[in-house]
Amino acid sequence: MFERYTEPARRALFFARFESSQFGSLSIEPEHLLLGIAREGGPLLARISPSASVEAIRSAVDTHAQTREKVSTSIEIPFSTPTKMALNYCAEEADSLNHEHIGPEHLLLGLLHVDGSMAESILRGQGITLDAAREAVAAGVVPAPPRDVSSTIAQIRQRVYDLAGASGEAEKQAIAAQIFAALDNIPRSRT
């Protein structure tokens, strides 16, 4: 299902899964996907709406999302029905734009299709509408410029190390080791 997804889009999904576990959710909701996109593609949001702020998005989700006891990161967390709808819409958006890949910009477009979701409401509050986002993506305003992959890997390593080291839990240490191993397999140059 995720063959067409770019590495940044896959990382956004990874972060969405992480966010859902931090909120204690038993499913990955659109707001978790929004937080994943914000973590991975913050500049993307600012390109569509200069008034958009990752901090404001985080604050809005923190204020409105229900928080329960954290869910272990080793437990499989499925996508909710609205999130599945957003993923279907993002593929439709990529197809309509004749894009072979699905990036964070397409994930964002998919979220904007899910009327009434917390994510769609927050995005509208940030001045991001479906039409404006679609126009920006079609005009080539997004995606964000390529990043140095080595720098990205170093940043991810540090974040995971900080997370795992802070808790000292054996489970999180094992997860960090798995993530480090996966990062070591990422090519250091773009093709």
Structural contact between residues 126 and 52, judged by C-beta atoms closer than 8 angstroms: yes
**C-alpha span between 176 and 80 (Å, rounded):** 26
Tokens of 53: 């702020």
Summarize pLDDT for 133-155 with one digit per residue, the tens: 998 888 876 554 344 566 666 66
pLDDT for 20 equals 94
pLDDT (0 to 100) of residue 102? 94
* Contact between residue 35 and residue 16 where contact means Cβ atoms under 8 Å apart: yes
What pLDDT is recorded for position 131? 92
Residues 23 and 32: beta-carbon distance below 8 Å: yes
Specify the pTM: 0.72
Please write the tens of the pLDDT for every residue from 52-69: 888 889 899 999 888 888
Q: What is the pLDDT of residue 45?
A: 82
- What is the Cβ-side half-sphere exposure of residue 86, based on CA atoms within 13 angstroms? 31
Nearest to 35 by CA among 108, 128, 141, 86: 108
* All residues at 6 or more sequence positions from 10 whose CB lies less than 8 Å from its CB, including other chains: 2
Write out the two tokens for 130.
């479906």
pLDDT for the residue numbered 92: 96
Range list of H helices, the chain: 7-22, 30-48, 54-64, 81-96, 104-113, 118-125, 130-138, 149-167, 170-184
Residues of the chain with pLDDT under 50: 144-147, 189-191
pLDDT at 145: 39
In angstroms, the CA 135 to CA 124 distance is: 15
Packing angle, helices 104-113 and 7-22, rounded to 10: 50
